[in-house]
Structure 1
Amino acid sequence: WVLVGDHKQLLPIFQTLDIKDKKVQEKLSIFCYMLDKYKDRSVWLRRHYRSNSEIIGFSSRYIYEGNISPVDKCREIKLNIKSYPKDMKFLNPDIPVVFLHVDGMESMREDGSRFKESEAKLATRIVKTLKGLGVKSEDIGVITPYRAQRDYIKELIKDDELEVNTVDSFQGREKDVIIFTITSTEDMSFVEDENRLNVAFTRAKKKLIVFGNAKSIHEKHKLLSRFVSYVKERGGYFTA
């Protein structure tokens, strides 16, 4: 028999057990167990059929150890817009991966879930601009680690055809454009999970726009800091 999967994306959720230790989660995953036990029989499926090469390039280098690359038909795919506002140069189709530095702190809802007004409003503005340029609602996705941020953005956008959801709910999904609002600046534990970030980074086909507080990221998050540097090297770093 053949077992196929991706242990670098979200691991199984055990509803009857309170497990936060990733190593314990991996031991309880059949796929991870078999991969560890039969390493000599494992085979990489190296061809990637979704994203522009610069979008998948980060995950390929830092998460998949260089083991995947896009097929030719995906390598240079770009967002099909002919123009963009002067104050939104980051929408340039020739820049597939963007990081937007957004100042400010997040707030916390009564249930402990976090939201950040400045990022929510920026996501809404970008969405409305893209739609005005001819990008369909169903081709845009907005993702965030927090339910409070998801709910706030949904209220602002008011578009049932445009998917706004948490990272966990977006696994297996894909969109031409993904906007990922990191939201948190203080406690970044929820985005420390490499698998969760990998899901967020690999949903986009043509354009990935990530925003958060770059200073906080460099101080507190190694993998995200690498992502910001990766984007800077490709001319995709902007300040909102």
Structure 2
Amino acid sequence: MQLPPTVMTKEDPDSEGHYRNRQAQDSTMPALEFFRSSRWPIYRLRTQLRMAKGLFDTCHREVYSDVPFNYGTQSALANHTIEINLEGYLKGRFPRLAPPAAGSLSEVFVHCEGTVCIVDEVTHSKRNPDQVANALDFLADMVKVARINTADIAIITPYAANVALVNRLREKPEYEILAAMPPAATVDSFQGREADIMVVIMGTTEEVSPRFTTDQNRLSDLI
């Protein structure tokens, strides 16, 4: 799925409770979706050529369940030593972590309870200092213990304010070990690129609600 145009004022009300942007829905269709709806012929690649076996399962289940697929030969774990090193680190640090199915890998979701999401009063962009610090602390320790090349790691987050926060905090001396890691990016700006280890910092909390992070196209590209 292609990301839809970003409409930041889609749900913003005015002082009387009316939506500020009355035409917001008109600009939410991605260009590729428009061509698809126009009955252009579409070729769907049904073989996963890059991800290790198991890592596309969630995206397939939640987004592409109507499309049968299989993993290609490059998805065998023997071709993904970096991911295997990460799996070994996780097992050592979190012994109670449920293992993936034999011969496959799985995503790891980290719940950061009690964090605070700060919403910019002007742009409404969100940042979460606690989640960002937790992610950077985790990565710094992982690189030290598992000896993973930081150039193989990338951080994405839905909000520009959180991107700026990540890039600012990683300048601290305690995160010097992450110096070779590419700058953090939003889902939109990272589209079309990849890394062996992807770290997603959602930034939101129950108090502020997920807002546009629930968009299926955005989740598809994020996953």
TM-score by length of structure 1 reads: 0.66
2:168 corresponding residue in structure 1: 155
Distance in 1 between residues matched to 2:134 and 2:63, nearest whole Å: 29
Q: Say whether residues 1:117 and 2:123 are aligned partners.
A: no
Match of 1:144 among 131, 147, 157: 157
What is the CA-CA distance between 1:33 and the residue it aligns to? 3.0
* Deviations, residues 78-120 of structure 1 (Å, cap 9, x unaligned): 5142853744456x89753111111123122344321112211
Distance in 2 between residues matched to 1:75 and 1:9, nearest whole Å: 27
Contact 1:60 1:69 in 2 (8 A): no
Contact 2:156 2:201 in 1 (8 A): yes
Query: What SS does the aligned partner of 1:101 have?
Result: coil
2:10 corresponding residue in structure 1: none
* Deviations, residues 129-164 of structure 1 (Å, cap 9, x unaligned): 232122112110111111221122222223553121
Distance in 2 between residues matched to 1:108 and 1:32, nearest whole Å: 31
What is the CA-CA distance between 1:75 and the residue it aligns to? 4.1
Residue identity matched to 2:142? L
Distance in 1 between residues matched to 2:167 and 2:27, nearest whole Å: 35
How do 1:200-239 and structure 2 match up within 5 A?
200-201=222-223
Q: Say whether residues 1:81 and 2:82 are aligned partners.
A: no
What is the CA-CA distance between 1:12 and the residue it aligns to? 5.2
2:217 corresponding residue in structure 1: 195
CA separation of 1:108 and 1:11: change in aligned 2, threshold 3 A: closer
2:61 corresponding residue in structure 1: 61
Match of 2:197 among 177, 183, 186: 177
Distance in 1 between residues matched to 2:117 and 2:35, nearest whole Å: 41
Distance in 2 between residues matched to 1:100 and 1:72, nearest whole Å: 30
What is the CA-CA distance between 1:37 and the residue it aligns to? 3.0
* Deviations, residues 32-88 of structure 1 (Å, cap 9, x unaligned): 23322326x433221222212322111122212233332122143351428537444
Distance in 1 between residues matched to 2:128 and 2:190, nearest whole Å: 20
Compare relative contact order (CA 8 Å, sep 6+) and give the higher one, 1 or 2. 1
Residue identity matched to 2:58? F
Distance in 2 between residues matched to 1:180 and 1:146, nearest whole Å: 11
CA separation of 1:24 and 1:152: change in aligned 2, threshold 3 A: closer
Specify the structure having the higher radius of gyration (Cα): 2
Greater shift after overlay, 130-139 or 177-186?
130-139
Q: Which runs of 5+ in 2 are unaligned?
A: 8-20, 172-177
Contact 2:55 2:105 in 1 (8 A): no
Following TM superposition, the consecutive aligned residue runs of length 4 or more in structure 1 with deviations greater than 6 angstroms are none
TM-score by length of structure 2 reads: 0.71
What is the CA-CA distance between 1:127 and the residue it aligns to? 1.5
Match of 2:140 among 128, 137, 140: 128
Q: CA RMSD in A?
A: 2.9
Distance in 1 between residues matched to 2:159 and 2:192, nearest whole Å: 18
Query: What SS does the aligned partner of 1:130 have?
Result: helix
Query: What SS does the aligned partner of 2:28 have?
Result: helix
Distance in 2 between residues matched to 1:192 and 1:46, nearest whole Å: 25
How do 1:10-89 and structure 2 match up within 5 A?
10-11=3-4, 20-21=24-25, 24-26=27-29, 29=31, 31-38=32-39, 41-65=41-65, 66-76=67-77, 77=80, 79-81=83-85, 83-84=88-89, 86-89=92-95
Q: Say whether residues 1:9 and 2:9 are aligned partners.
A: no
How do 1:82-101 and structure 2 match up within 5 A?
83-84=88-89, 86-89=92-95, 95-101=105-111
